[in-house]
Amino acid sequence: MKLLRSSYKQKGSILVTILVTSLFLTMLLLGVMILADANLKRARGRILQLQAQYSAESGADVAIAKLNDSSNPLADTYTGSPTETQVLNAKQYRSTFKTTVVSGSNPKEKVITSTGYVYAPKTATNPTNKRTIRVIAQRSSGTTASSVLSRTIIDVASSVKSISARDIYVNDYLNLQKNSNTIVADSITVVGKDASAQKCSIVGPGVLQKPTSFHDPAQTKAKLSLGFNNCINPPGNYTNSNFDVLANDTSLRPIQSLRIPWNQYMDDSYQPSVSGCSDWTTGGSTRQIPRIGNEKKTHYPDNGSNITATCGTNGDIDLGTNTTFVLRDNIHLRANLCAASACNPIFNNPDAASMKFVFVEGTINFDSLRTTASSGPIVFVTYGADPASKIKSCPHGGSLYLGKSNIETRAPAAYLLATYGLCLDQTKFAIDAPALGGIGGKSVFISTNSGNPWSLRLDPNFPLSEIPIDLSWRQSSYQRL
């Protein structure tokens, strides 16, 4: 009897133990499941928050790309994306961004604020995750100008006898149309090629010639750096006593942009002119720009963008013939120069130690150009597109045009830089002195009077290093808000 009771007690203890153990294991399993679910939700939340951050960073990247859009003349005025732009549309969520772009502490700085949003599920109307960042972008210059510069082609017409330059840089190719064309330069860099089967960086029957003296006294040979073949022989692709030739060089990089925005050199201390554009159109044979007493008031007429009809005559300023314009500061001009009738002006920068920039929102149409003997360096920058009126004489565009006149072009202190096409059409160049400081454009076409060929000499001492090209915006700081 006692033995039976003892057996019952043992069986009861085992059942209790099993019950307690099962309860413990159940609670343990439940705890693990709850913890796993919490970790899963936490991990998902972190992923979605990280996606919001990635979206914000995408917005900042897009803003910098917009600021660097060389095809958009108003790229520097980009203010961001006020409405949400979609980045990702996945099965379970979607992400977007919004950005604002404002000026920083100086004209070379932009402050980009970008917010990334995530909607989970993707049909949600309110974001479940959000992240905001602030990026400071600084404008920097990749390199500086050359004596002759082109983003596409440099085309030398048969009427040109010779071109003398310190250096030449072209993205596509250099075309010398006739065997009488002679190019004399310390260095020539050509990144691309023409469309022929030979893949020529330099093409045509013209002649390459070593300078009698170099800008750098240590240099003894003219240097040719070519992305493809040199099809002018000699020297072809071979180094000789006159040329160092590096052909088929895949390391060469094209020029991305020639555009210099006026706010690169004109900060908020510059003000609109007090008299519209009349500084240019009234006065005697010598006109001060700006007039004495109006220092730094050189936005004509204001600091907006594009041509305004209130400047000159319906947005066109006639500079006439033999009028001298004394450029006393950097200038921003919202007009075409001489569009209706070509002009023959004279310019003077009275400060030989300080380069002056003339930023022209429109086009320039000169028949000749002169700078005074004592003038400091001047750079004319045009933003206007190629006018239809120049198509016949300028096969590659002529937004900055220098044409034919009995008055010779003698402007060694002037550099002509066009965002679009630059065209020298039957131009009479000075014989005994450099005709220009330098030229550059999206495309460059050079011709002279076919009945009396002239040579174009570019001043080897013009301060090219003070003209920035390939200006670009780059991130300089990052802050998560």
pLDDT digits (tens, 9 = 90+) for 77-124: 899 999 999 999 988 899 999 999 998 988 889 999 999 999 999 899
Give residue for tokens 């003894």.
220
Most confident range, picked from 10-19, 174-183, 443-452 = 174-183
Instruction: Please tell me the least confidently modeled range out of 44-58, 127-141, 289-303, 341-355.
Output: 44-58
**Cβ contact 156:176 at 8 Å:** yes
Q: Burial letters for 80-102: b for 16+ Cβ neighbours within 10 Å, e otherwise?
A: bbeebeebeeeeebbbbbbbbbe
104: which residues sit within 8 A by CB, 6+ positions away? 110, 111, 136
Q: Which amino acid is at 308?
A: T
Could you give the C-alpha distances from 73 to 37, 66, 78, 262, 275, in angstroms and in order? 54, 11, 11, 11, 26
**Residue 255 tokens, joined:** 């020029």
User: In this structure, what DSSP letter does residue 408 have?
Assistant: P
| Total-model pTM | 0.84
Tell me the Ramachandran region of residue 446: left when phi exceeds 0, alpha when psi lies from -120 to 50, beta otherwise. beta
272: which residues sit within 8 A by CB, 6+ positions away? 297, 299, 300, 301, 302, 303
Mean pLDDT along residues 386-407: 94
Nearest to 331 by CA among 356, 353, 311: 356
**Three-class DSSP category at 109:** strand
Mean pLDDT along residues 208-226: 95
Q: State residue 11's pLDDT score.
A: 55
* For residue 253, pLDDT beyond 80: yes
* For residue 353, pLDDT beyond 60: yes
**Residue 166 tokens, joined:** 């310190």
Q: How many CA atoms lie within 13 A of 252 on its CB side?
A: 22
Go through the domains of the chain in sequence order and give each one's CATH number. 43-143 (3.30.1300), 145-171+254-472 (no CATH)
Please return the burial class of 19, using the count of CB atoms within 10 Å of its CB with bins 0-12, 13-18 and 19+.
exposed
**Main-chain dihedrals φ then ψ at residue 279, nearest 5 degrees:** -55, -35
Mean pLDDT along residues 398-410: 93
Give residue for tokens 């596409």.
152
Query: Residue 102 is inside which H or E element, if any?
Result: strand 94-103
DSSP codes of every residue in 231-298: -STTTTT---SSEEEE-S-TT----------GGGT--TT--B-TTTTHHHHSSSSEEEESPTT-TT--
Instruction: Please tell me the least confidently modeled range out of 1-5, 41-45, 188-192, 245-249.
Output: 1-5
How far is it, in rounded angstroms, from Cα 125 to Cα 127?
A: 7
**Cβ contact 421:401 at 8 Å:** no
Nearest to 344 by CA among 409, 425, 423: 409
Q: State residue 159's pLDDT score.
A: 84
Q: Burial letters for 244-276: b for 16+ Cβ neighbours within 10 Å, e otherwise?
A: ebbbebeebeebbbbbbbbbbbbeeebbebeeb
Q: State residue 206's pLDDT score.
A: 94
Q: State residue 366's pLDDT score.
A: 97
Mean pLDDT along residues 43-62: 88
Strand partners of residue 436 = 411, 458
* For residue 140, pLDDT beyond 90: no
Task: Return the CA Rg of the chain.
Answer: 33
**Three-class DSSP category at 95:** strand
Tell me the Ramachandran region of residue 350: left when phi exceeds 0, alpha when psi lies from -120 to 50, beta otherwise. alpha
